[in-house]
Chain A
């Protein structure tokens, strides 16, 4: 069981595939106030095991609302429980760390339930990504919704690429928000299952590869780590997010470790060491890369100001970088979407170079 401290965005939490294998408790007590909307799903269906709230709202109110949270949970067969002293449980989790948990609507024998909870599989050592990755490759073309007045969602987007770059997304349970950000930025997006081999990915002729978020412990995801090693050798621009960040860390020779109760929320301050600017970030991870375990040519780019943990890294020679948090947000502040631009710039460098070679020095026109 983990707790999430976001005050808005329960729908994004419910549909975030990274919650596979976990029971999620919201610390904000009123959940369901605006119901469920059509536009805020992070995946096709909820993957979390159960949902725990203080009070569930049966009468949502919002112009975008299409159904209640209750109906949504029922439809998807997700057990949920309310009228729980969620703050007391949060304190327990803070003290003891993430706990095994059981939520049942069928069994009310306390001793039996405790046994069931004890028997629940541990997050550590389990390759959960393979349970939530896509079955076969697909193309994604849906952008972030434009706000009502039609301004660009992110200032400066879409980027002025000489041609739309192709991004191959290695899907460990990718959130739709990430894909939408890539499309809004001006990319063509191909999503590939987690087990896809490096050669198959490269066959898509990508300008960059995005290593997606996903659930659980990165260490058992060994195939993907191999794939990433192979891609590193190709010097192709790569951007890792959350689990993708951890897998990149492992591929670069680092180690990961489990956090006591993880970071799950939308208010963690992270400092970009390059600019000194602070972004309020969306976080959802129980494991962390030990940056000290990495070779010297990998440097820390971002630091969590709450607990001093590393939140981002980049390679000194390779066009490869990653962050532990969620630059797409969903749910959370939009402060970190510049990282997609940074990814775009790296790809652009590749695209421009390629074009320079092809067109014999006539590049630059559009994006000078």
Chain B
């Protein structure tokens, strides 16, 4: 069937801000989907609130709405755009949920919008566990036994039916939020209650436990003619019980016979037919009982997913691209396979390598470990390709960039068993330890339920390493054993540690013995056909297939590796822009990255893609082969930046800002001297190497002080101390978090206004791309702050001062490329807090808000183009892009995924993603941004207020205004009497322990629609904790600082005037005083 011509305009939904369970894989899929539909000539309308995506670049759709993904907003987009079709399968669960809501409120019918890609019934059948069970059973598929609950009272009967342990799954939640495993009756009732809370439809499924079974996923595609192909079969190393997003996964499936696998394939086919997926990509999950082979179906996702992104990267088969084509009527045989270009997409990729994906966790940000279970907790992932499992596993492990001391196994046997049997983020280390102390793979398998196949593989690695340690010193390491080690995936560094050599000594040996990595092609067909796509991985099998071009204009770009808190999609966005910009200038681009979720690792973004770990060894391997004229390290965040100096030492030319200038910015002493010379004020500061030194210094500078170890990312281990006692605790902790045991202590500017600036400098002139005023005061990590463009409260003098300081510093640091600076304004003085000569987290936001694509400009500057030639003339006349509208960035915090954690903001970054709101003025844009991150500000109702004494004065006008708007106020005794003294009426609520119902009851019963709580002293802290935590658990919006309250009240006023109009970026840009390119 050729493509449909009865459709002209298609609405595509994105997935919104990055949250745990729904990350940048949807940018990858979404971008690919948009490109695919555009090729077919459709007019595209996009709604996605996430400005850090490539998908929301105005070049990829005709009408790009960076607006909240709520049914109301999407309906107004539909009303004004009148698309004929809606494609909901590219935007994850968010898009599906919005689509179901749109259908339920009649919006699709009202405007005659046809769902393509997945019919409503299929979405419902896949999501509603009861319906799912019915249709699966009807087509003869085996499932875990289960019971659906809507009332916590039915728990006992269900438990009797299923037996413990029991899996608790709320319906319609992301990444299994609110789910878990219950081992006893009280555990179960508690989990059912919170699952019911989490489920938007208030339904919970209780299931027979398949914990410990083998877990498999098939990524499949189906077209309108019922043609069906499996793109990839994925086997999880972690057995059932660990969320697949948190599991180490391997492709292809390793331990099934052909018959077992083909039966699973038959089941997958039957399952998606039963669910009613007519076209597109689909993810089907199975559990297999390891001793009998009983196979049950767990889940069907009728959309592209994290696993489909992984499958695409693992096989080279572009699932999202093809899914989009199928949605508009094509069949699989009508679409060419992009990789071979000669064969059709209707086939099953055969791969001749092993792919391993390992999740990356960010538990260090929350101060403690969490055991892994059915609710996803990881924030990113790395993927590696090797010719053996051992090679791919070890490459994937080093791609994670996690270096932490090996855990010490408990000596007592029972403790050891429990330690080994608890799935944790360092389970591989635990298994390794057990193998090293002599446990057999069989013994480990009995406890961990990891398949013995994987454990034997791990044992081969540990045995080999033990052999290296025992015999590899000195002459014991010969060419043969070194080759074997490399073929097993050992890094030079690890071989060096085992044999008493440095990494560079091992590298020298390799070079002497001619042991260089070979680069092989990812081609979807195991070399059966010629492939034209330059997508490579390294291995130590003989023949290299890459014939590098000898073009002079060739540049390598280093990506940012696995997503983590503090280094996420924003950096991938910048890398992609850099690659595209250099391509525009006629450069050949080489991309090195190991994150399968990203757009940068799509094979058509760069001229050559190397899916490799971002370590010195692996990057040098690529550079030795490709010999580009230089490497760009400033777009991928701290990961490539940390490689700059070692790469330069190895003779690699770093393009853009020199590594030594980067060192100046990171070395506080040299940086301090520089800004002093430039006359830029900074808060008083000093360095300390011990707790005692820190105390002396802090007293000299004056409390409060901010402490941080040098060379850290995302505010890692950064804390504020208000007195000696606090300092002692913070300093001891911070000294432990850094490889460089040195502490940086700054005067902390309380209640200051923080400002982020992104600028581009070509060494001669400076362009200020955005001045972003933070909403929260200084002290909250800039990555966790909301910020707004243009600044809404700065004076002209302050702004001038910021521009001047930025200019001076950019030139003083000899920046060529991007520069990000953080300023704080206190008592009308503009202080410089920090400068990073690299792309920052705010670059995509600033670029999207202003229409000036900063990363592209910076990449061209790095390539030697003068800044002035790259900017529209009208913009050159301005000091910075001034906007006739306001854009506000808000963040998403993952507290709901981490039970028990105090949801408090501070200098340690905790947010996972962001959304942007654009409106005519600041309050409107703030309102939209809050809506987009799921902070539903109430237009009416009751507000609970509890603030520390320091904030009492500031809360008065806020409280007064809330009253004026008709809100009922609730407050605890202290605040209530304070408000009463100022003639503001409020109702008294008991604190915890004062009586019932208390403040927590108020929150739990949702008798308030907003909580204002600013953290106070120690006693207030425990009350505060209960208030904050319950607000998060029960989904009541909470604000924990005064400035956000002020903004929120303005936003509420703005919302009450009526619904905020939706305007697409393309139309917004028309109102700018300069021309926006690339639209």
Contact = CB atoms under 8 A, between A and B. Distances in A.
Interface stretch (B258-266, B298-306, B863-871): B258-266
A324 interface: no
Contacts of A3: 526-528
A69 to B, nearest CB: 12
Contacts of A268: 347
Interface stretch (B175-183, B539-547, B1061-1069): B539-547
B340 to A, nearest CB: 9
B354 A29 contact: yes
Contact of B262 (A149, A265, A305, A329): A329
A332 B257 CA distance: 11
A312 to B, nearest CB: 16
A28 B352 contact: yes
Interface string A138-162: 0000000101110100000000000
* Residue among A59, A307, A330 with most chain B CB within 10 A: A59
B700 interface: no
Interface in B493-539: 518, 520, 525-530
Contacts of B254: 30, 33
B348 interface: yes
Interface stretch (A189-197, A233-241, A270-278, A292-300): A270-278
Interface residues of A, number: 58
Contacts of B292: 63, 148
A301 interface: no
Contact of B294 (A148, A276, A334): A148
A149 B348 CA distance: 27
Contact of A59 (B256, B261, B441, B520): B441
A116 B348 CA distance: 37
B726 interface: no
B698 to A, nearest CB: 58
Nearest to B265: A333
B607 interface: no
A350 interface: no
Contact of B293 (A7, A8, A148): A148
Interface string B430-462: 000000000001000000000111001000000
Interface in B649-692: none
Contacts of A85: 518, 541-543
* Residue among B253, B292, B293, B346 with most chain A CB within 10 A: B346
A305 B260 CA distance: 27
Interface in A1-58: 3, 5-9, 11-12, 27-30, 33-34, 37, 39-40, 54-55, 57
Nearest to B454: A61
Contacts of B388: 29-30, 54-55
A154 to B, nearest CB: 9
A148 B332 CA distance: 32
B68 interface: no
A28 B258 contact: no
A6 B350 contact: yes
Contact of A277 (B225, B527, B541): B225
Contacts of B804: none
A305 B529 CA distance: 13
B257 A8 contact: yes
A88 interface: yes
Contacts of A212: none
B352 A27 contact: yes
A246 interface: no
Contacts of B226: 277
A12 B347 CA distance: 21
Contacts of A305: 333, 343-344, 346-347
B349 interface: yes
B225 A63 contact: no
B5 interface: no
Nearest to B520: A87
B259 A148 contact: no
Nearest to B227: A278
A79 interface: no
B257 A5 contact: no
B142 interface: yes
Contacts of A306: 342-344, 347, 529
B63 to A, nearest CB: 36
A105 interface: no
A91 B352 contact: no
Contact of B258 (A8, A57, A335): A8
A183 interface: no
Contacts of B332: 269, 278
B353 interface: yes
* Residue among A30, A54, A90 with most chain B CB within 10 A: A30
Contact of A147 (B257, B263, B354): B263
Interface residues of B, number: 62
B266 A334 contact: yes
B347 A9 contact: no
* Residue among B142, B254, B347, B389 with most chain A CB within 10 A: B347
A86 interface: yes
A94 B527 contact: yes
A61 B543 contact: no
Contacts of B342: 306
A28 B293 contact: no
A3 B527 CA distance: 10
A266 B261 CA distance: 12
Interface string B218-260: 0000000111111000000000000000000000111111111
B222 to A, nearest CB: 11
A238 to B, nearest CB: 27
A91 B350 CA distance: 15
Nearest to B254: A33
Contacts of B225: 276-278
Contacts of B266: 334
A85 B266 CA distance: 33
Contacts of A266: 258, 348, 350
B290 A63 contact: yes
B351 A28 contact: yes
A108 to B, nearest CB: 17
Interface string A167-201: 00000000000000000000000000000000000
B774 interface: no
A60 interface: yes
Contacts of B257: 8-9, 11, 34, 37, 40, 62, 64
A81 to B, nearest CB: 14
B860 interface: no
B266 to A, nearest CB: 6
B287 to A, nearest CB: 13
A130 to B, nearest CB: 29
Interface in A55-105: 55, 57, 59-64, 85-88, 90-91, 94
B387 A269 contact: no
B995 interface: no
25 contacts: A3-B528, A8-B252, A8-B257, A11-B257, A27-B350, A28-B350, A29-B388, A40-B257, A54-B387, A57-B453, A59-B453, A60-B453, A64-B293, A87-B541, A148-B295, A267-B347, A267-B525, A269-B332, A269-B344, A269-B346, A278-B333, A305-B333, A305-B346, A306-B342, A332-B258
Q: Which 6 A-B pairs have the closest CB atoms?
A: A9-B258, A88-B543, A331-B258, A61-B453, A59-B456, A27-B526
Given A40-B259, A269-B229, 13 more contacts: A8-B256, A27-B528, A29-B388, A37-B257, A54-B388, A57-B453, A63-B293, A64-B260, A94-B527, A269-B343, A305-B343, A305-B344, A307-B343
Interface of B: 140, 142, 225-230, 252-263, 265-266, 290-295, 332-333, 342-344, 346-354, 387-389, 441, 451-453, 456, 518, 520, 525-530, 541-543, 545
